[in-house]
Each structure stands twice: as C-alpha cells, then as structure tokens.
Amino acid sequence: MYEVEIVTGFSAAHRLRNYHGKCERLHGHNYRVHVTARASSLGPGGMVIDFIDLKRATAGIMERLDHGFLNEIAPFDKIDPSAEHIAAVIFEEIARGLGDRGELLASVSVWESDTSRATYFRDEH
C-alpha cells in the first residue's frame, strides 16, 4: 500500500450553535489540513497521484473557506462548523474534484490547533 499526503490550510472564524461552552462564542482558527491519498499499486510515473493534481483539487475549497465566517458558508450555514464536519465537507469536495480518481482519496484531517484534530476517512469495509 502506498500513501501520499499534502498539507495546506486556511484561516477562518466560526461558532458552534449546538455547543455550550467557549466554542459557542465567535472565535477563529488557523486550520491546518492534511489530505491523504492511498493506492495498492502505483499509476503512471510511479505515483499514487500527482501532487499537483491533489493540490489543484484541494485549492478551491481552501480558497472558499479562507478568511471567511464559516457559519455563513454552505453547508455550514445549516450544520455546525465543527472540525469533524469541516473534514467531511473538504473530503467530499476534493473527491468530486478528482473525478474518477476520487477513490484514491483516503482521508482529510483538520487541525484546529497543534494538539487537536479531526479526521474523516473513506470507510474501506
């Protein structure tokens, strides 16, 4: 099994609507995002996927979220912008952006801080 990963990020503000504590107040994070692709065999050029293609598929969602108020950006205008939801939304958008290579996407991890992350991954069962 082979695995490749890119690291990117965005800065944004949010508040959790269905949470009682500090995070229900408006606050922001410098999110770090790890995007992982995986394959059991290598494709053309001896790669899982070209890093350029993975970065290109990721760039649109990063740009859309960067310096935004997540609660006003779909789908977070309807669902809480928790790290778990953010990871899932980013995963789905990248998978769509990869087209027929979307099945190579293995996981997306969203770090809210240096010590706290949430990961959404493809269920392989």
Tokens of 25: 């107040």
Kindly give the interhelix angle for 83-97 and 51-65, rounded to the nearest 10 degrees. Answer: 130
pLDDT tens, residue order, the chain (125 aa)? 999 999 999 999 999 998 888 889 999 999 999 999 999 999 989 999 999 999 999 999 999 999 999 999 999 999 999 999 999 999 999 999 999 999 999 999 999 999 999 999 987 64
What's the pTM value of the predicted model, to 2 decimals?
A: 0.95
Q: What is the pLDDT of residue 44?
A: 85
Q: What is the pLDDT of residue 125?
A: 45
Alpha-carbon torsion angle 85, 22, 30, 105, nearest 10? -20
Residue 57: count other Cβ atoms within 10 Å of its Cβ.
23
- The pLDDT value recorded for residue 124 is 67
- State the pairing for strand pair 68-69/2-14: parallel
Report whether 28 contacts 14 (CB < 8 A): yes
